[in-house]
Amino acid sequence: MLINKAVRSAAVCCAGLILLTGCGSGDSSSDSAGSDVSAAKDVFAMDTFMTLKAYGPDAEPALDAAADRIAELEKTLSVTDKSSDIWRLNSSAGQPVEVSSDTMTILQKAAEVYDKTGGALNICLYPVLRAWGFTTSEYRIPGDEELRELLENTDCRKVVLDGMTAELPSDYQVDLGALAKGYTGDEIMETLRENGVDSAIISLGGNVQSLGTKPDGSMWKVSVRDPFSPDTDMCVVEIGEKAVITSGNYERYFTGEDGNVYWHIIDGADGYPADNGLVSVTVIGDCGLDCDALSTALFVEGYPDACEQWRKSRDFEMILVTDDGKIYYTEGLSGSFTNISSMPAEVIPDA
């Protein structure tokens, strides 16, 4: 049943996105981060409000370099820009296409996580997303037959990656929206580092990534949204240099003519929005690309399989919110997790 409390509530409360959710840092030139030199920059790219904040004497030029890098990545990864790698790939009619190392890195990660999660993360679902109108905001509910036909061309194992060349079967199209922001976060951090910054925090539409610690050596405090009320925060985690990446059903959705609510993360098993018991998945780890890929995949997989994925690797932390209003988090967060919601929160059992 494609309606749940999270989205019903979001429909009431989500008047606008909270630009700085997740960024626990202050904003003045001498702020709570403990430095008297800082610079901030707002960027709109990849359909996302991005807020970048860096500390230290090199902060300003470093942020300019980061903004240039974002623009470069947007041009490479966009599904709509006719000069992008992805546009060329999607209109290649089965021919091999040479792509940039940025695109290849993401395609390889997508293939790896597709395999690891039994197809839960599937970049080939783009035609299905289009059929629902999630790419244009002209929403509609596709028929079952239409979905069945579209799903025939979504076997991600048929994407061939060879050196710097990618090849899709004709009738296939990909979209890297589930991974691009995580990769962009990694690249922003790399750019800031190369430009002399060792303390920074960024929010890419609520996905947070930090570089180093605060200038005074203390941990960053990052908040995660309450999926049942996305304009308020649900919990705070204290982190060092990490990515904190969330996939939620409240981020993009519409109410169909049938009164049901449909959201933007698709289950390749049936072509419908993934409705496997989770309304929000936050993955915390060292690599933004990994965390972004996983947060989308685990959202699709649902609670038991998400816990199994974590038990198998234990190289990331996560916070899950179930559709019955409970928070579950991994034990590695025990010392750094504070629940500020009225929902019960408990540690995910070891086995």
The site for ligand AMP (CB under 6 A) is made up of: 121-123, 125, 129, 134, 175, 177-178, 247, 251-252, 264-266, 268, 292, 295-296, 300
Beta strands in the chain (DSSP E): 38-45, 48-55, 97-98, 160-162, 165-167, 200-204, 207-211, 220-226, 229-239, 243-248, 253-255, 261-263, 278-285, 317-322, 327-329, 337-339, 345-347
Q: Which does 122 bind (CB under 5 to 8 A by kind): ligand AMP, Mg ion, none?
A: ligand AMP
181 in Cβ contact with 205 (< 8 Å) = yes
**Burial class (CB within 10 angstroms; exposed 0-12, middle 13-18, buried 19+) of 64:** middle
Given 117, 191, 276, 295, the residue binding Mg ion (CB under 5 A): 295
CA distance 311 to 332: 12
246 in Cβ contact with 225 (< 8 Å) = yes
- Beta bridge partner(s), residue 202: 52, 209
Site for Mg ion in 171-190 (CB under 5 A): 178
Residue 212 Cβ vs ligand AMP, minimum distance, rounded to whole Å:
25
Residue 349 Cβ vs ligand AMP, minimum distance, rounded to whole Å:
25
Q: Which is nearer to ligand AMP, 35 or 84 (CB)?
A: 84
Q: Which is nearer to ligand AMP, 130 or 193 (CB)?
A: 130
CA distance 263 to 132: 9
Residue 262 Cβ vs ligand AMP, minimum distance, rounded to whole Å:
12
Segment contacting Mg ion by CB under 5 A, of 4-12, 108-116, 288-296, 335-343: 288-296
Q: Which is nearer to ligand AMP, 55 or 250 (CB)?
A: 250
Q: Which is nearer to Mg ion, 176 or 348 (CB)?
A: 176
Q: Which is nearer to ligand AMP, 294 or 307 (CB)?
A: 294
Binding footprint of Mg ion on the chain (CB under 5 A): 178, 292, 295-296
